Structure 1
Amino acid sequence: MTKVSPTNKINKPSTKSEPEAPNQNQPQSRYKVIYDGNCNLCVSLVQMLEKLDRGQKFTYAPMQDLETLASFGISAADCEMGMILINANFPDQRWQGSDAAEEIGRLLPAGAVFVAAYRSLPGMKWLGDRTYEQVRDNRYAIFGKRDRTYQSAYPIGCRQGQNCKV
């Protein structure tokens, strides 16, 4: 995996151009979300996203699933810096922490408008990053820790149209 920077982002390899968006003939873009399956807040947010998306764009794996992490070249230590979002069509394109949260929001219906407004307000990105870091670092103390790791109804590796519920 590429190195995690102090700003909680996974550094993307330098490329001269961003990947092109898939055209309508290509399958719908899918994203992999790696989350803390023992964190009550994280699991609640994943469950909310599952209800909104129903596996159309996002599949999920808890950071406790070391086999899945290894398949992406991600370590458990990388996950301590925050959730990770991976573009399945371009696996080197990754977001982490508050950047992942923003990108997920942007990908939701009508979410791009809200994320653009948030990003346009002076100081909001900085405040959002600091808030994410505080919640990330204190998530168990604030929201509690689950006794069992949550396994998503839409796990990474589940193909669209399959009944992949655990």
Structure 2
Amino acid sequence: MHYYVIYDGNCNLCVTLVQLLETLDQGKIFRYIPMQDEQAIAQWEITPQGCELGMILIDANEPQRRWQGSDAAEEIGRLLPLGSIFVDAYRTLPGAKWVGDRIYTQIRDNRYTIFGKRSCTYQSRYSQNNS
């Protein structure tokens, strides 16, 4: 079972999180595509403008199953070993989802100001082409 993570390859925070996932997952579950790769994301009818609403997670076996923004972050966490324990606990806390969504939106909208912008787009060693 594989999933595609579409991320901002120019965002320092996004790239750091992708690199952390690469280390944890070693390409077993996730493949990574920067939103700047317009040709790659077009196969799912996704535009760079659509990516501005947050990272996207796509189920490779059922591409119509997709998550975006904080929902994608939660699903990625749930798919990691033992991750569902933490995600389920987070989801049961009253108001946590609402607060998490707001924090995600603020970080998403200010990511370059807060964390900086890379001079070149990060390409993962676990891209869709390096399966």
TM-score by length of 1: 0.78
Q: CA deviation at 1:72?
A: 1.1
Structure 1: how far apart are the matches of 2:65 and 2:9? 23
- 1:82 aligns with 54
Aligned-residue Cα RMSD (Å) equals 0.5
Larger relative contact order (C-alpha < 8 A, sep ≥ 6)? Answer: 2
Compute the displacement of 1:158 (Å).
Answer: 2.5
Q: Residue 75 of structure 1 aligns to which amino acid in structure 2?
A: T
Structure 1 gap segments, 5+ residues each: 1-28, 160-166
Corresponding residue for 1:59? 31
Aligned amino acid, residue 60 of structure 1: Y
Counterpart check, 1:106 vs 2:78: yes
Cα offset, 1:54, TM superposition: 0.5
Structure 2 residue aligned with 1:142, among 102, 105, 114? 114
Of 117, 121, 138, which residue of structure 1 is paired with 2:89? 117
2:101 maps to which of 97, 106, 129: 129
Letter matched to residue 4 of structure 2: K
Q: Considering only CA atoms, is the larger Rg found in Structure 1 or Structure 2?
A: 1
The Cα of 1:156 is off from its aligned counterpart by 1.3
- For 2:33, the aligned partner's letter is A
SS at match of 1:149: coil
**What is the count of residue pairs matched by the alignment?**
131
Inter-partner Cα distance in structure 1 for 2:47 and 2:19: 24
1:151 equivalent in structure 2: 123
Paired with 1:49 and 1:150, the residues of 2 have a C-alpha distance of 14
Structure 1 residue ranges, 4+ long, deviating more than 4 angstroms after superposition? none
Counterpart Cα distance in 2 of 1:48 and 1:94: 21
Aligned pairs (5 A) from 1:33-48: 33-48=5-20
Q: Deviations over 1:55-95 (max 9, x none)?
A: 00000000000000111110111100000000001100000
Structure having the higher helix fraction is 2
Equivalent-residue separation in structure 1 for 2:63 and 2:129 (angstroms) = 14
Unaligned runs of 5+ in 2: none
